[in-house]
């Protein structure tokens, strides 16, 4: 989960993370329910939610694909560059 929300700290009725998320990832449709990270695969890892949370209840957590990335640059290049000379 890219975004952890501490439900104990989260302010009831606040919808800042819902409104500030540029990707429509975090939803809080009901003030009674805690916010839901509804589309975690579509997170940009921008940190707008954590940055704007008034009570520091939000934390962005980077996944292993990003922290331990081993992808060689060749896989990002076109086939002409990867073709044997």
Partner 1 sequence: MKSPAARLRPPSEKTQIIETDVLVVGGGVAGCLAVLGAAEAGARVTVCEKGGIIERSGSVAAGVDHFFSVLEEGPEWDTPEYLLRHVPRLTDGIADMGTTARLLHGLKPMVHYLEKLGVDFTDPETGRKYYRHRSFGMPGEYTINFDGRDFKHLIGRAARNTGALVLERVMVPEILVEDGRVRGAAAFHIRHGTFYFILARAVVMATGETNRMSRNASGLPFDSWHTPYNTGDGQAMSLRRGARLANMEFYDCTLCPKGYSTQGTNAFVGGGGHLINRQGERFMFRYHPDGERARRGDLVHGIVSEIMAGRGPIYCDCTHLPPEEIHRLKETLGVDRPAMPAFFEQKGIDIGKAPFEVTVSELSSRHGGTFFRSSGILIDPGTGTNVEGLFAAGDCSTMGAGISGAAVLGKVAGEEAARHALAARKPRALPEEEIAALRGAILSPLQNPGGYTHSRFEDEVRSVVTDYVGFYRDEPHMREGLRRLRALRAREGEMTARDHHGLMRVHEARSIRAVAEAMAASAIERRETRGGGAHARADYPARDDATGLKMIVVELQGEDLRVSSVPTGLTPEDTRSTVSLGEASAHAHTD
Q: Under the rule (CB under 8 A), what is the footprint of partner 1?
A: 18-24, 27, 29, 38-39, 41-48, 50-51, 59-63, 65-69, 71-81
SS3 (DSSP) at 82: helix
Cβ closest to partner 1, residue 11 vs residue 44: 44
Task: Tell me the closest approach of the beta carbon of residue 50 to partner 1, in angstroms.
Answer: 7
User: Could you tell me the smallest distance in angstroms from the CB atom of residue 8 to partner 1?
Assistant: 21
Burial 3-13 (b: 16+ CB within 10 A, else e): bebeeeebeee
CA distance 16 to 85: 54
């Amino acid at each position: 989960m890219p975004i952890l929300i501490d439900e104990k700290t989260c302010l009831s009725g606040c919808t800042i993370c819902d409104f500030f998320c540029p990707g429509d990832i975090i939803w809080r449709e009901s003030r009674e329910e805690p916010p839901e990270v509804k589309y975690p695969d579509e997170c940009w890892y921008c940190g707008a939610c954590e940055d704007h949370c008034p009570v520091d209840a939000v934390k962005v957590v980077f996944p292993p694909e990003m922290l331990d990335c081993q992808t060689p640059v060749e896989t990002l290049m076109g086939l002409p560059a990867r073709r044997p000379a």
